[in-house]
Amino acid sequence: MARKDVLLGITNPSPDRKDSGSSNYAMRGATKSMLSSIGELASQAARAEKLIEGAAVVELDAQLVDASFVQDRMDAGDPAYKELREAIQANGQDSPILVRPHPQDSGRYMVIFGHRRLRVAKELNRPVKAVIKSVDDTAHVIAQGQENSARDNLSFIERAVFAQKLVDLGYNRETVQAALSIDNPMLTRMLSVTKRVPMALIDAIGSSKNVGRDRWIDFATLYEKSGGGGDLAALMETDDFNQAPSDEKFAKLYSHLKNAARPKRKKLAVTTKKWTSRDATVTFAMNRKPKKVAIELSSTRAPSFGEWLSERLDSLFEQFEQSDKQGNGD
């Protein structure tokens, strides 16, 4: 997705829209009802393209820029961040971040997207190149979400967590769909995971970059069937788990849940009888199961005794049948 497409969600508040400016940044009242469809959102976003084209890039004191009110990345230790930091340190910041005047703190700003570039600027104690736009909370989350969609390296679960956070803040489904450029069925799938798997568990696993939608949905189903993860906590406390990369953490927990979901086979009762000859040269052992009997002969004379028995099986079986008839009263 081109950068200008990412910026399509930025728009000046329309005359009938008020910037919420609320402390919890949730949509409510008139704001919640202002957007009735993705089509309307797309139309507003299209008008925004002209507003952003040719916007002035300024340098801001990075310490004056605060994080967005909704987080979109899970792993602060993303290996790609190190590469980005080294590139900016060597060559400078090649593209500006997008910020808005802080809705509550005059003289400060809030980043809409470009969190990692802002973090680099703060760590290097450098000013940050930025475009400043006065937007409301809805336009903010749409722009931030669309920029998420433009990244190839955001995983399914990171996008799902972002969607859940927007829902928790009170944004309607149309706004969330527009922010993530997804349809209603995909949003339902995302929320089916985040509603069944506790956020603390998702955070413990991390971004799991190579784990897709189907495996996460399967994981959520297994977790739900387990009644809350069973003894996952014990596994998660091990060094082996905590030192593993995110994808391996997912694989370990997934495997554990899958094994726990398999029906346990009941152990069959086994009755063992033993006999030893008086001179201890033959040992007889019989292991009896409901539909199977295993006989084992051992010790020094076992081979010859086994041959002797095999040669007399017909007569021994006849004796057995006679005994069985007598026992049954025939």
Specify the amino acid at residue 260. A
Residue recorded with tokens 């010790």: 299
How many CA atoms within 13 Å lie on the side-chain side of 82? 3
Residue recorded with tokens 């189907």: 214
DSSP label of 35: -
pLDDT score of 309: 87
Rounded CA separation 228/207 (Å) = 21
Rounded CA separation 313/300 (Å) = 22
Per residue in 78-109, pLDDT (tens digit) is 677 889 999 999 999 988 999 999 999 999 99
Q: Which residues of 276-314 are buried (b: 16+ CB within 10 A; e: fewer)?
A: eeeeeebbbeeeeeeeeeeeeeeeebbeebeeeeeeeee
Question: Average pLDDT of the chain?
Answer: 82
- Whether 49 has a pLDDT exceeding 70, the answer reads no
Per residue in 221-271, pLDDT (tens digit) is 999 988 876 678 888 999 999 999 999 999 999 999 988 867 666 666 778
Structure tokens at 114: 């470009």
CA neighbor of 260 nearest in space, from 237, 229, 218: 229
Structure tokens at 241: 């788990």
pLDDT score of 42: 52
Q: Are 212 and 156 in contact (CB under 8 A)?
A: yes
- Whether 57 has a pLDDT exceeding 80, the answer reads yes
Residue recorded with tokens 């470009």: 114
The pLDDT-based confidence of 323 (bands split at 50, 70, 90) is confident
Per residue in 142-177, pLDDT (tens digit) is 999 888 676 657 899 999 999 999 999 999 999 999
From residue 39, how far is each of 35, 178, 260 by CA, in Å? 9, 9, 46
3-state SS, 153-186, equals: CCCHHHHHHHHHHHHHCCCCHHHHHHHHCCCHHH
pLDDT score of 110: 97
Rounded CA separation 224/196 (Å) = 7
- Whether 54 has a pLDDT exceeding 80, the answer reads no
- Whether 321 has a pLDDT exceeding 60, the answer reads yes
pLDDT score of 39: 55
pLDDT score of 185: 96
Rounded CA separation 58/131 (Å) = 6
pLDDT score of 19: 40
Mean pLDDT, residues 4-21:
42
